[in-house]
Chain A
Amino acid sequence: MDNILEVKNVVKQYGDYTALNNVSLQVPKGSIYGLLGPNGAGKTSLIRIINQITMPDKGEVLLDGQKLNLDHVKDIGYMPEERGLYKSMKVGEQALYLAQLKGLSKAEAKKQLDYWFDRLEIQGWWNKKIQELSKGMAQKIQFVVTILHKPKLLIFDEPFSGFDPVNANLIKDEILELKKQGATIIFSTHRMESVEELCDDIALIHKSNKLIEGKLIDVKKQYRSNTFEIGIMTSNVEGLMYQLTQKFTVGQANFKSLNDDLKLEIQIGNSSPNELLNLLAQNGQVTHFVEKIPSVNDIFIQTVSK
């Protein structure tokens, strides 16, 4: 598989504290990769190593098959969780400066800025100082600054925190657009709904160790419990319940339905779903039959609390 980023057996220690314990990751090219983990798990340490802010004590990081070096700075765009810009500097100058630090020429940076200012409809902000902007406005600038130099790899640390829903959606669309253009995106987050929605791949880091990694769908398959939620309208509740409990593990389900029906959660173990469905169909009108897919949140909590 074609990976844009490979982290190989990285160890990072601060004094006696181990922030990363032999962590390896593979980020496929063109994917949206969710780097998950509770606070203090080691996500930021890892991201700082990828950004060459700190060096790993052991192990190495490959970008596009090459060992990380200073030339890679221009290939990576990073938006830290703690956002910040120079408060008393004008928006335009600031963005130009930061883009030039990433290796863009002044003319190219100007061109890109004009494009993005147009696109996000913030043309009038060029001469404003950051301190005159609202928090949400400053976040837009922050986003532009991150992607201005068209990096191959974008790293967003908690990208949606601090955005109002409208702007969060706007940024989400832009991120998807960047993905379409070929960029790879790493999300570091503990907000699972955005992972569920956007990520193709995930890795879970907990207490300095990587616990899970893989395609989101594969991870989910791995965590599936062969449980089905069913809804059925039947006059023979007791008889049905008896038959079900003979064969499967049955519990109460809780989903929304328009019908006044019996809602159950049934774990079928190694039996085939058809077996369950047939049994239900013989006893009444099936209104609901869905495999219960583990949410990322479930997987997260289940793994972390293990």
Chain B
Amino acid sequence: MSILALIIKREFIAKVRNKSFIVMTFLSPLLMVALAAFVGYLSTMKSDAKEIVIHDASGLFVKDFKNSEEYSYLDRTTESLASLKDSINAEKFEALLVIPKELDNKKLASEIKYISNESPDPDFVSDLESTIAKRLTKSNLEIANLDTLAIKNAQAIVKVSLSKASGEENVKGLNYIKVFIGAGFGYLIMMFIIIYGNMVMRSVIEEKTNRIIEIIISSVKPFQLMMGKIIGTSLAGVLQFVIWAIVGGILLTVASMFLGINITPPAAGMATTAAEGSLGNLQLYANEFFKLPLLTLVISFLVYFIGGYFLYSSIYAAIGAAVDNETDSQQFLLPIILPLMLAVYVGFFSVLNDPHGTVATTFSMIPLTSPIVMLMRIPFGVPWWQILISLVILFGTFFLVVWFASKIYRIGILMYGKKPTWKELYKWLKY
């Protein structure tokens, strides 16, 4: 076995055998599912309906308030307002709706009161208002002696039907699927870089503090050790992702069986037939999902993943070599985290609004942000030459950074007992 393969194997096994790795790998999908199930369970639980007391002196509106699952209405117009207010204070009821008796509708509209101890849900209040408004409008129309039926018939109801130029039906929020997929991949890369980059750094620091480093590099070149470490760690990470994907796939299949979504790509005619109803929409989403450039996405995910991860983890390795312990690494970590954060923010704010705008395009070319930003753009369709340019820049930078990092690494691993400054790191480049 070649030296590099030996190192990769050792690093891989060391990571995979680690207890926290095993726990993370198998527990986190379960935790995610358990969490989802828990949230789902919570949302199915119904709390008791809130009781709203109505004191309607006008007698116009009482019949308009229909009990729902969340709210029930009690007509207490006969009781005195003062005692009703007391019972609100005593928290016997959720709220008191007071409608006075007024002949003038305008005055009536301005004098309706909602009394409660807790501030009400704004949606509920606007429902309340529209219920009252509807009745008052009707009353106004009657007073003005207009034909209410004719007016009702004259009201136009518009629902824009969404479709693409290719003639297929479209769904509102389809962009969200693209955003979701792109953002998901971009986010995944960021998480991977941070988690596994840190792992590379820790393992470099471990070799330094264990003082085994001198024995190892009397046998192998520092560059081999660094690359072996980066590759071995990334393989462990890929294994973790594959396990997550398999577990996730199984869960997705199970879930789709329950929801009745057809996850095989539909025949051409089918898409137009499924139109209405939430199930139809769901089917449409699923269809759209499979119409995304999935192959391109997966391939570019892998390529950008390799480029981005290697770029960042070699910087992590260099930092690990430069410091003696993890606390000292903080000052050097900030410049790594910043571009990653920037990439995600640019992705969420620029790409979603304007996937092919200047900002999004620029950041999908800059090597430190391109793995994340470009992946977010790809679901919206990116010209191949842009991807090519961005990849050339990414991998060019990658080789440059690896070269610099290995120089710092080579010197750093033999330096003990001092906290280096940026200036010193620069000096090491020249040794």
Contacts and interface: CB of A to CB of B under 8 A. Distances in A.
A119 to B, nearest CB: 21
A48 B413 CA distance: 13
A180 interface: no
Interface string A100-131: 11100000000000000000000000000000
Contacts of A102: 219
A258 interface: no
A76 B214 contact: no
B218 A51 contact: yes
A273 interface: no
B401 interface: no
Given A100-B6, A101-B3, A84 B14 contact: no
Given A53-B414, A84-B210, A98 B215 contact: yes
B312 to A, nearest CB: 25
B6 A97 contact: yes
B214 A82 contact: yes
A87 B210 contact: yes
A76 B427 contact: no
A52 B212 CA distance: 16
Nearest to A70: B221
Nearest to A80: B214
Given A53-B414, A80-B215, A101 B210 contact: no
Contacts of A204: none
B6 A52 contact: no
Contacts of B1: 100
A78 B10 CA distance: 21
Interface string A75-90: 0101110111111110
Contacts of B431: 14-15
A73 interface: yes
Residue in A53, A83, A97 whose Cβ sees the most chain B Cβ within 10 Å: A53
B216 interface: yes
B211 interface: yes
B213 interface: yes
B306 interface: no
A10 interface: no
A54 B414 CA distance: 10
A101 B216 contact: yes
A84 B210 CA distance: 5
Contacts of A79: 215
Contacts of A78: 214-215, 218
A53 B217 contact: yes
A159 to B, nearest CB: 14
Contacts, number: 61
B128 interface: no
B220 interface: yes
Residue in A84, A87, A89, A97 whose Cβ sees the most chain B Cβ within 10 Å: A84
Contacts of B215: 78-80, 84-85, 98, 145
Interface string B189-227: 000000000000000001100111111111111000000
B218 A76 contact: yes
Contacts of B210: 84-87
Given A51-B218, A89-B14, A80 B414 contact: no
B428 to A, nearest CB: 10
Contacts of B7: 101
Nearest to B225: A101
A26 B258 CA distance: 81
A51 B215 CA distance: 10
A76 B216 CA distance: 13
A88 B15 CA distance: 11
Interface in A1-55: 14-15, 48, 51-54
Nearest to A142: B215
A20 to B, nearest CB: 15
A86 B212 contact: yes
Contacts of A82: 211, 214, 416
Given A85-B210, A101-B3, A52 B427 contact: no
A87 B14 CA distance: 11
B255 to A, nearest CB: 39
B401 to A, nearest CB: 23
Interface in B344-391: none
Contacts of A48: 414
Contacts of A85: 210, 212, 215
Nearest to A85: B212
Interface string A139-156: 000000100000000000
Interface string B382-426: 000000000000000000000000000000001010000000000
Contacts of B220: 73, 101
Contacts of A87: 206, 210
B414 to A, nearest CB: 7
Nearest to B212: A84
Nearest to A50: B218
Interface string A206-246: 00000000000000000000000000000000000000000
A105 to B, nearest CB: 9
A97 B212 contact: no
Residue in B10, B215, B414, B427 whose Cβ sees the most chain A Cβ within 10 Å: B215
Nearest to B209: A84
A86 B17 CA distance: 14
A31 B140 CA distance: 116
Nearest to A130: B210
B218 A52 contact: yes
A145 B213 CA distance: 14
Contacts of A98: 215-216, 219
Nearest to A51: B218
The 5 closest A-B CB pairs, nearest first, are: A84-B211, A84-B212, A51-B218, A101-B219, A82-B211
14 contacts: A48-B414, A51-B218, A53-B217, A53-B218, A70-B221, A73-B218, A73-B220, A82-B214, A84-B210, A86-B210, A97-B10, A98-B215, A101-B7, A101-B220
Interface of B: 1, 3, 6-7, 10, 14, 206-207, 210-221, 414, 416, 427, 431
Interface of A: 14-15, 48, 51-54, 70, 73, 76, 78-80, 82-89, 97-98, 100-102, 145
Given A52-B218, A53-B214, A85-B215, 9 more contacts: A73-B218, A84-B211, A84-B212, A84-B215, A86-B206, A86-B212, A97-B6, A98-B215, A101-B3
